[in-house]
Structure formats: C-alpha cells, structure tokens
Amino acid sequence: MSKVVIVGAGMAGFSAALQLRRLGIEFILLDKKGEPGGLIPNAWRIENYIGFEGTGFELQDRMREKSIKYGIEVLKRKVTDVFFADERINLVTDDGNFSTEYAVLAPGTENRKLPSLWPGEDILNGVTTLKDKSGKKIGVIGGGEAGCDHALFLADRNCEVEIFLRGSNPKCSGDLYNNVKSRKNIRFVENFIPSKIFVSENKKYIVSGYSGCDNFQKEFDFLINATGRVSRLAMFDIIPSTGVVTERQGLYVAGDARLGSLGQLGIAAGDGLECAIKIFGDIIKCR
C-alpha cells in the first residue's frame, strides 16, 4: 500500500509526481499508456508554456528525461473504478487494485462520441500514430482548437487535410487561425451536415453528407474525430470540483479532468503542484 496514488501521467499528474519526489513523499504513478505525456504529443506547437517552445513530442521527451533523472516510474495501468472503503481510497485497475490514503485523479479527457451514423470504433482521436504518415489524405471532423492543431500537424507532413465545419469558419483564434487559413494543403468543408460515414472495401474512409445545398461523398486514408473532449472523471462517478480539493478526504482532481477541455499546460502543471503541496502539508501535520 502507498500513501499516494496518482492517476494519469500527463502534465498535471506528472507535475504532482515530480513535486512529491522533491518533497520526499513516496507515491505510485499510474497511466494507461505507461509513459509520461498524456495528450501532449498531439500538439503541433506549444508556445504559451513558459520556459518551453516546441512540439508536443519534444516536450514529452523532456518529461521522459525528468522521469529518468528523478527516478519516476510510470506503471502501465488503466484505472476502471474508484471507491471508498475503510476510510481509504481504492482504485481498481486492469492489473490489480490499489488502496491509499491520498489520490490525485488526473486522467485527462476523452473525445466526445460521434453520432450513431458512424458504426465503427477505429476513427482516430489524435494524430500521434500518424507522425510518420506523409502524403496521405486525411479528414478531420471538427474545426475547433484541437481540430485545427491536428490539421497543422498533418500539413507539416505533406498530407492533404480537409476539416469538416458545422459553420462557415473554424472555431480557433489568433495565430492558430492565421496559420491554418494560410496552408494550401488544408481545406474546409463548411456548414457540414453528415449523412453517413463508413469504410470501403479498399479500406478507405468514406464521408458523405451536405455542405450547404451540395451533396458530396469524400474518400480519406484516415479520419480523425476532433468534435470536442469531456472529462474522464464521469466514468468514476466523480463530479469535477471548482478547485483541486474534493469533498472526499484525501482525494484531489487536477488538470483537464477537473476543467474539461481547456487544454492549457500551465494550469495543469499548477494543479499538479497544488495537489502535491496540499498532500505534503496534510502528511506533515499528521506526523
């Protein structure tokens, strides 16, 4: 049994782990992928995180270096349930259970499900698996911050990208908007109303629907769902709090699991640090 279990090795969970290591508090860090980074590798460019500017892959490499330097092990476990018994927090995983006095839940977010017009499960929810796929034709469903960021990631790899928009303009702003509008290999399908999505016999993704009054059918090598993200806390029947502290003694929530789809690394890191410092203070007080 460990005093502290951290769920999720994205920016929030990893920051909590790093701070606890510095404070001399033992912990167990769980992540379904078994490595630090979370969704960070999907980022095309990171420009507003003080002290770093580069790609998501580059920031993940720095996190890996930190994990080696400070001896932070990430156990590959998928947490499927959290419950409370005998004044302890109990976590059920796909490979054993954990019981602890303190837990930091930072499992991040998951994509919103596409409507029933899509019968399968193999639409991509990110771009990391496409990092070595150049010259492909790729559709992105959703023109928000994530969808446009994904499109730029793929455009840098000489892919032809089409973004399906519910309205007439992408829902991103500032430099991201200017970048995505300036790329010749990124096009937009405006006022998109889907009618059917399926996989053809030659393993191509077929998207059919309407753009304005025009009916169309388009073929892609890959299709990405970027229709928005929701907190993973719902699967544990835990309501996100307004801060990192919850109504349960010893239970904390951090990062996008708490905030939803905000996706800001600075806030996630701050959440992780705050959780670690509060846990340390409580442990010291009880000694």
pLDDT tens digits, residue range 199-253?
888 989 999 988 877 888 999 999 999 988 888 888 787 776 678 998 888 999 9
Q: 120 versus 70: which is more confidently predicted?
A: 70
Predicted local distance difference test score (pLDDT) of residue 61: 97
CB atoms within 10 A of CB 74: 23
In a domain, 81, yes or no: yes
Around 211, how many Cα atoms within 13 Å sit in the side-chain half-sphere? 14
- Residue range 137-142: mean pLDDT, rounded: 95
- Are residues 78 and 155 located together in one domain of the fold? no
In a domain, 7, yes or no: yes
- Are residues 71 and 152 located together in one domain of the fold? no
| pLDDT for 285 beyond 90 | no
| pLDDT for 119 beyond 60 | no
- Residue range 10-23: mean pLDDT, rounded: 97
125 confidence band (pLDDT: 50, 70, 90): confident
| pLDDT for 55 beyond 60 | yes
Predicted local distance difference test score (pLDDT) of residue 32: 95
Q: Report the chain's mean pLDDT, rounded to a whole number.
A: 91
- Are residues 214 and 244 located together in one domain of the fold? no
Query: What CATH number does the domain containing 45 carry?
Result: 3.50.50.60
pTM: 0.91
In a domain, 118, yes or no: no
In a domain, 171, yes or no: yes
Predicted local distance difference test score (pLDDT) of residue 281: 94
Q: Which of 199, 225, 251 delimits the end of a domain? A: 225
- Are residues 138 and 199 located together in one domain of the fold? yes
Q: 112 versus 183: which is more confidently predicted?
A: 183
Q: 10 versus 117: which is more confidently predicted?
A: 10
- Are residues 61 and 137 located together in one domain of the fold? no
- Are residues 139 and 186 located together in one domain of the fold? yes
Chain segment 160-186, per-residue pLDDT in tens: 999 999 888 888 888 999 999 999 999
- Are residues 154 and 88 located together in one domain of the fold? no
Burial of 133 per CB tally in 10 Å (0-12, 13-18, 19+): middle
- Are residues 236 and 221 located together in one domain of the fold? no
Q: Side chain identity at 189, as an amino acid letter?
A: V
How many structural domains does the chain have? 2
- Residue range 124-128: mean pLDDT, rounded: 88
| Strand spans (E) along 66-152 | 74-76, 79-85, 88-93, 96-105, 109-111, 137-141
- Are residues 144 and 282 located together in one domain of the fold? no
Q: Which of 172, 191, 225 delimits the end of a domain? A: 225
- Residue range 147-164: mean pLDDT, rounded: 96
Predicted local distance difference test score (pLDDT) of residue 116: 61
In a domain, 73, yes or no: yes
| pLDDT for 120 beyond 80 | no
In a domain, 191, yes or no: yes
Structure tokens at 42: 């999907």
Q: Which of 173, 197, 225 delimits the end of a domain? A: 225
118 confidence band (pLDDT: 50, 70, 90): low
80 confidence band (pLDDT: 50, 70, 90): very high
Predicted local distance difference test score (pLDDT) of residue 117: 62
| pLDDT for 142 beyond 60 | yes
| pLDDT for 155 beyond 60 | yes
| pLDDT for 111 beyond 90 | no
Residues linked to residue 28 through DSSP beta bridges, in sequence order? 5
- Residue range 183-192: mean pLDDT, rounded: 94
- Are residues 277 and 215 located together in one domain of the fold? no
User: Which residue range(s) make up the domain with 194?
Assistant: 128-225
- Residue range 95-115: mean pLDDT, rounded: 90
Residues linked to residue 98 through DSSP beta bridges, in sequence order? 91
CA distances from 48 to 196, 234, 259, 264, 280 (A): 38, 29, 18, 9, 29
- Are residues 135 and 218 located together in one domain of the fold? yes
